[in-house]
Amino acid sequence: MDTTRAPPPSVLFLAASLLAAALGWLIVFAARRPSRRRSARLPPGTTGLPLIGETLRLISAYKTPNPEPFIDDRVARHGTGVFTTHVFGERTVFSADPAFNRLLLAAEGRAVHCSYPSSIATLLGAHSLLLTRGAAHKRLHSLTLTRLGRPASPPLMAHIDRLVLATMRDWGDPAATVRLLDEAKKITFNLTVKQLVNIDPGPWTESVRREYVKLIDGFFSIPFPFAHLLPFTTYGQALKARKKVAGALREVIRKRMDEKVENGGAKGEDDEKDMVEELLDAEGGTFSVEEMVDFCLSLLVAGYETTSVLMTLAVKFLTETPTALAQLKEEHDNIRDIKGKNQPLEWSDYKSMPFTQCVINETLRVANLISGVFRRANTDIHFKEYIIPKGCKIFASFRAVHLNTEHYENARTFDPWRWQSKNKLQSAVGASLFTPFGGGPRLCPGYELARVVVSVFLHHLVTRFSWEEAEEDRIVFFPTTRTLKGYPINLRRRSDSVV
Ligand SMILES: *[C@@H]1O[C@H](CO)[C@@H](O)[C@H](O)[C@H]1NC(C)=O
Ligand SMILES: *[C@@H]1O[C@H](CO)[C@@H](O)[C@H](O)[C@H]1NC(C)=O
C-alpha cells in the first residue's frame, strides 16, 4: 500500500523550467557549485540547475529501460549510498543504502513521516490510508491487514479462482490476441470491488470503472499549476472522476448503514464480510461516512495498478526466460494432474507452488513496482557522519538496493532460482534487503493477497495456454513501472487444457 511510485513531478517543476529557461546560462554556472558551504554535514551531492535541480535527468533516466546510471553514477561519485540531490522542486536526500532505508521505514511516525505531493493527496482524499497518520493510521492499517491479510479464507480463494477463469474464458478459442495488462486490470478491479463492497460485475461496476480509469490517469499526469481549475486536463478530469467514484461508494455505504439499522446489526459469517461491513463494525461504528469513502477509494487505487503490472511483468520475464517458464509449467501441470479436472484451486495448492513464489519474488525484485518511498524528517537525523536536517525530504530507494550487484549476484538479470531454498537470500540479512512492499508501520497490507492473485493467474495461464509476444514491448519506469504497450500476446489454448 505504500504506493509511492516514481514521483509525479510537482507543480513547481513546470514553473521552474520556465523560469530557468528565462534566466539562462548565467545562473547555471553559479549553481554548479556543490552545496557544501551552507550545510556542511548534509550527505554529499550536487543540486544541479536552479529550481529544476536534477529532475530532468531523473525523468529521462527513468524513461529508459535502464535507469540505474542515475543512482550508480552518484553513488560512485560520492562514494556513499546516501547522497543529496534536488528533484521535483525540493532538495532531497536519496538513499540507496539498505541500512538507512530500514531505519527510515521503521522510524515512520516518529523521526520521519510519509510525504506525498499535494496533487496526489487531493486525489486520494484526506482520510485515505496513505495520508492518515498516528493513531488513525494504525487503526485503519490493522483493519486492512485483517481484511486483506488472510487470503487463506476459502471463499476468497474460490472467488479469485472463479474470476481468473471467467476472464480467461472470454479470450478467444482456440487462439486470441490480448493486451495482457488490460486483462490483468479486469481481474484486479473486479476482485477489489467484490472485496470492498461485495458487488459482482454489472452496470454499477461498469459505470464506476469508467470514472475510475480517469481517476487513475490523474495520478500519473503531470499536474501543472492550476490544473485543478482546468476541467479539460487529465488532472482536472481525474478530480471530476474522483467525485463520481466517491459518490458511488457513498451511496453504497449509506444504503448499508440503513440496512444495518433495519436488521438490528445481524449479518453473515465473518469470512463473508466485505470491507464496508468491517468498517461499519470497527471501533464501535465510529467511522464517519467520509472516512469510509476515502478509505475504500484508496484501497481501490492501491492494489489495482501494482498488482496488474506485477502479473503482466511476471509473464513477460517468463517469456524471455524459457527455462524458468518450463519449470513453472511443470510445477502447475503437476498440481493440475493431482487435482483432477475443474477442481478449484485451494489454499493447500497455493502453498505447494515453491517455484512460483521464486518467480514472483524475482519479478518484484527486478521490476520494482514501488521504486521507493518519500519521507520527511521530523527531526535532525544522524546517519553515519551525516546530518539530515529536520524538514528535509528523503527518498528511500528500494530499487537501488534490489539491483545492487553487491547484494545480489548478477543483480540486473531475472534469475528466479536465486530464491530457491537454502539460498542466502532466505537469511535475516537477505530478508532485510528485500522490501518490495515497503516495511515498518506502513508495510503494504495487500502483500499476501497480491501473491495469491498472481499465483492463481499464472496457474491457469500456463496450464491452459501457450503464447508468444505479439509485438515487441519494453518496460519504462516513469511515471510508473509498466510496459509501453500493455504487453500484447498471441495466445493459443493448449490441446490438453480444460476450459
Ligand atoms: C469484470 O468487470 C468488467 C466491468 O465491470 C466486466 O465487463 C467483466 O465481464 C468482468 N469480468 C468478469 C470475469 O467477471
Ligand atoms: C519471497 O519474499 C518474501 C519477503 O517479501 C519472503 O518472506 C519469502 O521467503 C520469499 N520467498 C522465497 C521463495 O524466497
Mean per-residue pLDDT of the chain: 81
Cis peptide upstream of residue 479 (ω within 30 degrees of 0): yes
Dump pLDDT digits (tens) for 1-31: 344 443 333 433 333 343 333 333 333 333 3
Kindly give the distance from the C-alpha atom of residue 313 to the centroid of ligand 1, in angstroms, as a whole number.
Answer: 22
Residue 391: per-residue pLDDT: 92
Q: Spell out which residues line ligand 1, taking CB within 6 angstroms.
A: 163, 166-167, 186, 190, 201, 205-206, 209
Q: Name the residue among 140, 291, 145, 304 with its Cα closest to residue 219.
A: 304
Whether 287 maps to a domain, the answer reads yes
Contacts of 287 (CB under 8 A, 6+ apart): 279, 280, 295
Q: Name the residue among 49, 61, 59, 47 with its Cα closest to residue 22.
A: 49
pTM recorded for the entire structure: 0.85
Whether 498 maps to a domain, the answer reads no
Pick 265 or 80 by higher pLDDT.
80
Whether 35 maps to a domain, the answer reads yes
Smallest CA separation from ligand 2 atom 2, residue: 361
Evaluate the CA torsion angle 482, 130, 364, 355 in order and state its sign. Answer: negative
Kindly give the distance from the C-alpha atom of residue 433 to the centroid of ligand 2, in angstroms, as a whole number.
Answer: 11
- Residue positions in the annotated binding site for heme? 444
Whether 1 maps to a domain, the answer reads no
Mean pLDDT on 326-351: 91
Dump pLDDT digits (tens) for 239-261: 899 999 999 999 999 998 888 88
Whether 264 maps to a domain, the answer reads yes
CATH number at residue 272: 1.10.630.10
Q: What span, in angstroms and rounded, lies between the C-alpha atoms of 367 and 331?
A: 23
Alpha carbon distance, N-terminus to C-terminus of the chain: 34
The ligand that comes nearest to the alpha carbon of residue 430 is 2
Min mean pLDDT across 144-148, 341-345, 393-397, 428-432 is at: 144-148
Whether 499 maps to a domain, the answer reads no
Smallest CA separation from ligand 2 atom 3, residue: 361
Host domain of residue 141: 11-493
Whether 376 maps to a domain, the answer reads yes
User: Which residues partner with 179 through β-bridges?
Assistant: 488
Whether 148 maps to a domain, the answer reads yes
The ligand that comes nearest to the alpha carbon of residue 182 is 1
How many domains are there within the chain? 1
